[in-house]
Amino acid sequence: MNFVKQARRYRETFIDFIKTEDQSDPESLHIYPVKEGLSQKPVSPDTVPVFTEQISYRSVLSQVGLLVLFNLLFFIIAQVSFLMSEVK
């Protein structure tokens, strides 16, 4: 969920970047999202915003904690059922 939110935020940033670069070209038709309506001038790769994922350790930690809790719970249930069974 966190990744999807970040990807959507980046998409908005990228669209704003495209619109800003297009508005700086006076020869452009400024028609978004039609490719022929945008500026055809090359853009420096250094100016394009880069997507970087920010990993939230709190959300990961809570999920790992639940996995550990369920693992311990099922281990204890299996251990108790094994000890209560009769060996013949």
Q: Is the pLDDT of residue 73 over 90?
A: yes
pTM of the model: 0.61
Q: How far apart are CA 1 and CA 4, in angstroms?
A: 5
Q: What mean pLDDT is predicted for residues 63-85? A: 95
Task: Please report, for the chain, the start and end positions of each structural domain, with discontinuous segments joined by +.
Answer: 1-55, 56-88
Q: How far apart are CA 25 and CA 49, in angstroms?
A: 19
Question: Residues 59, 67: contact at Cβ < 8 Å?
Answer: no
Q: Collapse the DSSP code of 70 into the 3-class scheme (helix H, G, I; strand E, B; otherwise coil) and give the result.
A: helix
pLDDT at 50: 93
pLDDT at 88: 72
* Tens digits of residue pLDDT in 2-59: 889 999 999 999 999 888 888 887 777 877 777 777 888 888 888 899 999 988 787 7
